[in-house]
Structures are given as structure tokens and as C-alpha cells.
Amino acid sequence: MSNSTSITNGRLILPDGSISENGSLSMAGDEISAINPDTAPSDALDAKGQYVAPGIIDLGVFAVDKPAFHFGGITRAAVMPDQNPPLDHPARVRFVAQSGKPDFWVHPLGGATRELAGSEMAELALMQDAGARGVATGRGWIADSGTMLRLMQYCAALDLPLFVHSEDEGLTGKAVATDGEMALRLGLPSAPAEAEAISIARDIALVRLSGAHLHFRQVTTRAGLDLIRAAKAEGLSVTCGITPAHFMLSDVALGGFRTFTRLSPPLRSEDDRQACLEALADGTIDVIASGHDPRGPEDKRLPFADAEPGMAGAETLLALTLNLVRDKVLSLSDAIAKLTSNPAAILSVDAGQLAEGMEADIMVFDMDRPWVVDSAKMEAAAGNTPFDKMPVQGRVTALFKGGRQIAL
């Protein structure tokens, strides 16, 4: 790690959505000290006309692969409680909160219930004191509405966001695909897409009762997104996210039984994918996250129905999100906000913006630099990506964490 403290000749993506051409910024200690200062030191990093943006904050990952995150421009990640053992105890939360420093910050999400079993609430306040920036139900849905209401009430009292997985497991069971032509053709166990909307509708009703801030980690269906949109119009404190897989791929990608496309929630219909693009454009979807969940051959080289869900997404997150800009779904500033300032606001951290006093977590990226996704060469613990061999554009060329440059 080097000690460069200034960046010059960059295209700065600023909090108001504007882009400062030939911009510069200075860092002092671990904070941004000035935007477009009058002078810059002679040893400043020359961005050479590339874009300068806040470091990405990846909201809801299942593993921390620092080399993979650094490759992708990610400087912070909110880690799901689905670990071994689960993050349902203050000591475990405290350990994980310290695990990535100094060149990467991990924000643990405390397990909502003991052992993530969905019944007995964990010690939320003690986990918050230990460093939890939120609470999460994990990979599963809490079926008991009474437990869920009490959980929301506690989260509201503690001012902690609650991250939920939205699939009614009474409907999904052991399904690995969404009901439709592809699941029928392939003979895969499937469940109706409505399982997501039913779960979301129940939880939105409980938000009205509790006043909690609920973050739906992945919303992937038209019906679910319509419910989120209506809840926001009503003024309820709800936010939601998505991964690139669900706005780029439909269930047609399941053809050939490629287990790298075995995801949770499963890939949806083309109509649902189009609804995701519409929800990104109109602001219904607040966050784009990688869902980083590396799975080795022992989990993926199995019959499709037996394979574990998940994808390694950290390295491809920025490049795949930039497709939305090229396709004119989002402006560049809106796309970057869904990767940076919006996640920062949900976690209540002083990062995610190029502004004085903010943490100096900064990435410089070449929006047009081409490269090819190769699962065999990824920095992640495993390269289980549904985008293997896909040509993409957009590459991080410099990264700073807390004002110190990280070697890429």
C-alpha cells in the first residue's frame, strides 16, 4: 500500500449527480479533505481522464475475498450472518467486524434469530454494540408472523435496518427454478414466482405496524417490485436490492443444466427481468449488489437440483452494472449511487460519496477497458459465475481505502 494522497485529471462523480471534468481531490488521514483544490502536489496520482468514484459498498455478501473485492473496486461489504458458525452472537460479530482491516472494512449483519432457525430472537442490542450495522434473516424467510413483528419492533427501537430474504418457503419447498416453460422442459423442481410477492406483502404489512426499516435484499419479480413501489409511495421505510444476474439473465439461461445459474432466488421469466430493468430506471430498486457467494466444485459439480445456489459476483459487479449505463437504463451517476451512496445510507456509514469529510474510499476506473470474465482465473475463492467467458467493459485501475492506495 502506498501513501499517495491526491488524485488529479479525473472525471469526478459527485454527490449531486454531476461529473467534474478534469477534477481533482485531496485526502488527509483517512478522509477526503478537498474536492477540486486550487493546487495539487506534484506526486498526485494522474487519473488520465478516467472516472473517479467512491469505493463500492457491497450490500449482503456471504464470503469475504479481499483480492476479489479489490479487483472489483469494493472497499466495504455488509456480510450476511450465514457463516459457520452463524453471526448470532456478539463475540462472533465483533471478530468479523475487525477481520478485514486496514485495507478492507467488513460490516457484519447480525443474525435475526438464534442459529438462523427463525424462532428465538438473537441478542440484537448486544450485537449492535459489537459492530453489527444491521440485522438479517439470512438465506431463509421467517414464517412466523409474530416472531417477525417482534423482530421488526426491536430493530425499529434500535434504529437497525432489517435485511430479509423474500420467498415464502411454504411454496418454494425444495424448488430450484421458477415455474414456467424452462423448468417444465428441464424437469426441475419449481415454485411459482408469486412466492416472492406473498412474502413481500406480509412483511410490508408488518412494516406498517412496526415502523422498521426493511431492506429486501433481492427483489426479482414484477409483482414483488410493484409492491415495493407502492410501499415507497405510501411513505414506508423500505428499500430493496438486486444482483446483476437477475437483471441480465432470465430462466432461459438454465438450459444445459449449468449449475453456475443455480441461484437463490432462482432466475425468473423474461417479463420479470424486464420489470427489474424498469424498477432500476424509476428508482424502485435502490441497490445493486454482487450477492458474492463463491462455491467450489464440491457444491457445483452436481446434478442441477442437488447443487448449492450462489455465484461469485464481486469481480464482475462494476462491469456488469456499467452495462445499464451503456444500454441507457441508468445514468452513470445513478448507477454509481446504487453501488455506493445508497448502500452507505442504509448502513449509516460516512462513506459512499466524494465529499469533504467522507471516508477516503475511492476507486478510479476506465469505463471502456475491455476484459473477459474467466471463471478459472478469478481472484475469488471459487469462480462460479454464470457470466463465464463473457466479454465485458469497465475495469478498476486504482483503489484507495482510508486514503491509502491498495496495490491491484
Residue 43: per-residue pLDDT: 82
CA angle 296, 297, 300 (to 5 degrees): 90
Residue 3: per-residue pLDDT: 52
Give the CA dihedral 30, 35, 38, 39, nearest 10 degrees: 40
Q: Give every residue of the chain whose pLDDT is below 70, as ranges.
A: 1-4
| Contact in structure between 52 and 18 (CB atoms under 8 Å) | no
- State pTM to two decimals: 0.96
Residue 2: per-residue pLDDT: 47
Give the CA dihedral 170, 176, 181, 187, nearest 10 degrees: -110
| Contact in structure between 327 and 356 (CB atoms under 8 Å) | no
Residue 1, C-alpha cell as written in the block: 500500500
Rounded distance between C-alpha atoms, residue 245 and residue 313, angstroms: 9
* Interval 69-87: pLDDT, tens: 999 999 999 999 999 999 9
The residue type of 148 is M
Residue 307 CB-density burial (10 A; 0-12 exposed, 13-18 middle, 19+ buried)? buried
Helices (H), 164-221: 169-172, 181-186, 194-210
Is the Cα torsion angle 398, 21, 353, 136 positive or negative in sign? negative
| Contact in structure between 399 and 70 (CB atoms under 8 Å) | yes
Residue 1: per-residue pLDDT: 42
Mention the CATH class of domain 55-350+367-390.
alpha beta
Residue 4: per-residue pLDDT: 58
* Interval 185-208: pLDDT, tens: 999 999 999 999 999 999 999 999
